[in-house]
Amino acid sequence: MREITPKKIVEMKGREKITMVTAYDYPSALIADKAGMDIIFIGDSLGMVVYGEENTLNVSMDQMVYHTRAVAKGVKRALVLADMPFMSYEVSIEEGMKNAARLIQAGADAVKIEGGYDHYKLVKKLVRSGIPVMGHTGLTPQRYLRLGGYRLMGEREEEIEEILMDAKALEKAGAFAMVLEFMLSDVAKLVTEEVKIPTIGIGSGPHCDGQVLVWHDLLGIYENVPPFVKKYADLRSMIGLALEEYKNDVKDGRFPEPRHYWEFLDKDDFEKKRKRVLERISEDH
């Protein structure tokens, strides 16, 4: 069992801020775990940042299982959380149970489900079956078509009520935490105060119990990032410069240098071997 468990995440509420970051492959997971992240999250955002999709709706269960397995192999300390992709749990509770089990069997410690009140029964049954669940309310990207795009949530009173109902339903169903995405910070503060389980914000201000960002966004791998992202590095430029230098070194004959390859120390010995090999080949042909 990994050091960070759902129980420990719950205990961190009000005591210590929770850190969460996405990862989609083994080397990223190794780095994130060594950096001391509390939760490493295989999000369906991989559809956009890894596969180049315009949204998350085309991500399949097979993709999520594949990436979860890769990430899980690289994590020893953090809690490994895997996203339930679009239409992997909406059709029926039974299908949701089966798909959640696939992610756990691939190495996840918990699953995340978008929505709250609508999936109360599923969350409750998953938790009773031994599968920890993190909820997700506010901007739910899998429902962006219904929401009218990727927009700030919580400005209207009915939205505040829906968000709070979702949060309370998730808590009652047994979720150990929830993501609050892209909502007004006042609303996120209200939710955080009204529930006993941790809230993890993304674009929802400083009052949440923790924060999550996408790997590619915070590391500056892409030029365009959501407005709530802080870039902690500019890897796009660094990687580009490294590749350009490599290209120029190859073109101009500067790479490889002698320290990058090996050759016969005894040239006479090599010459004898070379002649014998060439003679045998010429005889065969």
Can you say how many angstroms the Cα of residue 91 is from the centroid of all Cα atoms in its chain?
24
Contact 66, 107 (CB under 8 A): no
Instruction: Give bridge partners of residue 110 from the DSSP assignment.
Output: 81
| 271 exposure class (CB count in 10 Å sphere: 0-12, 13-18, 19+) | exposed
Is the peptide bond prior to 206 cis by the omega test (within 30 degrees of 0)?
A: no
257 is catalytic: no
3-state SS assignment for residue 180: strand
Separation of alpha carbons 243 and 240, rounded Å: 5
In 134-166, which positions are buried (b, 16+ CB within 10 angstroms) versus exposed (e)?
A: bbbbbbbbbeeeeeeeeebbbeeeebbebbbeb
Separation of alpha carbons 27 and 265, rounded Å: 37
Comparing CA positions, the residue from 197, 53, 219, 226 lying closest to residue 139 is: 226
Q: Which of 155, 159, 171, 181 is flagged as catalytic?
A: 181
> What are the residues whose beta carbons fall under 8 Å from the beta carbon of 47, sequence distance 6 or more?
53, 55, 56, 57, 58, 59, 63
Helix, strand, coil tally for the chain in percent (to 5) = 45, 15, 40
User: Would you please indicate which residues are annotated as catalytic (active-site) residues?
Assistant: 181
